[in-house]
C-alpha cells in the first residue's frame, strides 16, 4: 500500500477544534504543506492570535507564540528583529487585524518588516459569537448589527489589501479564497510565495484569505461557500494587489 496523501509533518496530531466547514483548517494545512516543502519547519516561529485561531499554537508543529488581540505584527516584529534567521508569521482574523490591530498591521507594513501575515477574512467575529467585524458586508446581519450593517451607522467594509497597497513598505499583497478546490490551490501558491518572499528578504508580505464561517453566518456549509462567492467576492475581489517580490 502506498500513502498518496498525508497530513503535513509541520502540523501536530492534535484534532482541530474548528467548526465543520470552517476555512481555518484548510489554511493551516496549506501553511503546513508550505513549511514541509520549503524545509523550514525548524526555522518557523508563528504568532497565534486571539479569536478562533487562539489554539493555532497547538496545531502548528513549529515554535509558536500566542499574544494579545491585534498585536500579532508587533509581536512578530520583536521575534524577527531578535532572530533575523527565523521565518516569522502572524496569523490573524479580521477583527484582530482590521479593527483592534489596525495600527500594528499598518506600521509593520510601513517598516516593511520581513514577516509573513496570513489574514483570515470571514466578515464576522467568530470566537465571540458573531458580532459585526470591520469587514462585515453592508446589510449582513451580525449580533451587534441585528438589522444588518447600515453604512449610516456603522460605515462600510474595509478592504485591507487595497488599503495596504498604498504603503511603500508592503511588498506582496494577494487576496485568495478557500471556497473551491481551484481556489484552494491558488491560495496555496500565494501562501508559499509569501513565505518564499521572507526567505528572499523581500519584506512585508500578506495573504488575505476569504474564509467561510457557517456557524456565525447561520448557514449550511454549501450556503456558506455560496456566500463567499456571491456576496464576499464582489466586495473583496480576488487577485494580486502588489507584487514586488520578484521571481
Partner 1 sequence: MTEKTLRKGNEALAEGAIRAGARFFAGYPITPQNEVPEYMSAYMADAGGAFVQAESEVAAINMVYGAASTGTRSMTSSSSPGISLKQEGITYLASADLPCLIVNVMRGGPGLGSISGSQGDYFQATRGGGNGDYHVIVLAPNSVEELGNFPKLGFELAEKYRMPCMILADGILGQMMESMSFNFDPVDPNKLGKFDWAVDIHKNGRKKNNVFSYKGDNLIADVVERAKRYGYIEKTEPRWEEREAEDCDVLLVAYGLSSRACLEAVNKAKEEGLKVGLFRPITLWPFPSKRLAELAAKAKGVLSVEQSLGQLVQDVKLAINGKTPVYLNAYPAGGQPDGNSILTAVRSILNGGKEGLFDLQEHAAGFGFECKRDTSLGMQGDLKGGK
Question: Which residues make up the interface to partner 1 (CB under 8 A)?
Answer: 12, 41-43, 45, 47-48, 50, 54-55, 57-58, 61-68, 71, 74-83, 85-86, 103-104, 106-107, 110-111
> Minimum distance from CB of 79 to partner 1 (Å)?
4
Q: Give dist(CA 191, CA 27) in Å, integer.
A: 9
Of the pair 69, 189, the CB lying nearest partner 1 is at 69
The angle formed by the CA atoms of residues 51, 55 and 58, to the nearest 5 degrees, is 160
Of the pair 127, 233, the CB lying nearest partner 1 is at 127
> Minimum distance from CB of 167 to partner 1 (Å)?
13
Residue-by-residue DSSP string for 42-60: TTEEEEE-SSGGGGHHHHB
Of the pair 35, 241, the CB lying nearest partner 1 is at 35
3-state secondary structure 141-201: CECCECCCECHHHHCCCCCHHHHHCCCCCEEEEEEEECCCHHHHHHHHHHHHHHHHHHHCC
> Minimum distance from CB of 88 to partner 1 (Å)?
8
Torsion 221-225-226-228 (CA) sign: positive
Mapping DSSP to helix (H, G, I), strand (E, B) and coil, where does residue 220 land? coil
Of the pair 148, 169, the CB lying nearest partner 1 is at 169
Of the pair 111, 229, the CB lying nearest partner 1 is at 111
> Minimum distance from CB of 133 to partner 1 (Å)?
20
> Minimum distance from CB of 66 to partner 1 (Å)?
4
Of the pair 110, 238, the CB lying nearest partner 1 is at 110
Of the pair 70, 157, the CB lying nearest partner 1 is at 70
Say which residues have a Cβ less than 8 Å from residue 92's Cβ, sequence separation at least 6.
49, 51, 53, 70, 72, 73, 101, 105, 117, 118, 119, 120
> Minimum distance from CB of 236 to partner 1 (Å)?
25
Q: Give dist(CA 230, CA 226) in Å, integer.
A: 6
Residue 137, all three cell numbers: 458586508
Cell 510601513 -> residue: 110
> Minimum distance from CB of 9 to partner 1 (Å)?
9
Amino acid at each position: 500500500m502506498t500513502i498518496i496523501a498525508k497530513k503535513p509533518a509541520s502540523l501536530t496530531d492534535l484534532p482541530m477544534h474548528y467548526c465543520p466547514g470552517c476555512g481555518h483548517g484548510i489554511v493551516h494545512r496549506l501553511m503546513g504543506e508550505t513549511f514541509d516543502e520549503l524545509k523550514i519547519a525548524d526555522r518557523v516561529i508563528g504568532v497565534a492570535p486571539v479569536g478562533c485561531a487562539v489554539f493555532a499554537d497547538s496545531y502548528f508543529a513549529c515554535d509558536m507564540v500566542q499574544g494579545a488581540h491585534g498585536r500579532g505584527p508587533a509581536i512578530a516584529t520583536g521575534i524577527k528583529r531578535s532572530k533575523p534567521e527565523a521565518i516569522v508569521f502572524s496569523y490573524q482574523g479580521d477583527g484582530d487585524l482590521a479593527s483592534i490591530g489596525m495600527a500594528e498591521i499598518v506600521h509593520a507594513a510601513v517598516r516593511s518588516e520581513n514577516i509573513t501575515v496570513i489574514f483570515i477574512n470571514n466578515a464576522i467575529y467568530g470566537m465571540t459569537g458573531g458580532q459585526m467585524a470591520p469587514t462585515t458586508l453592508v446589510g449582513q446581519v451580525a449580533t451587534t448589527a441585528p438589522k444588518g450593517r447600515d453604512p449610516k451607522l456603522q460605515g462600510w467594509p474595509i478592504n485591507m489589501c487595497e488599503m495596504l497597497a498604498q504603503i511603500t513598505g508592503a511588498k506582496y499583497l494577494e487576496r485568495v479564497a478557500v471556497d473551491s478546490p481551484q481556489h484552494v490551490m491558488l491560495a496555496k501558491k500565494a501562501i508559499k510565495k509569501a513565505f518564499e518572499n521572507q526567505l528572499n528578504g523581500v519584506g512585508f508580505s500578506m495573504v488575505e484569505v476569504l474564509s467561510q464561517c457557517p456557524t456565525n453566518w447561520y448557514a449550511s456549509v454549501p450556503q456558506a461557500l455560496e456566500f463567499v462567492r456571491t456576496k464576499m467576492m464582489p466586495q473583496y475581489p480576488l487577485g494580486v494587489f502588489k507584487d514586488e517580490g520578484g521571481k
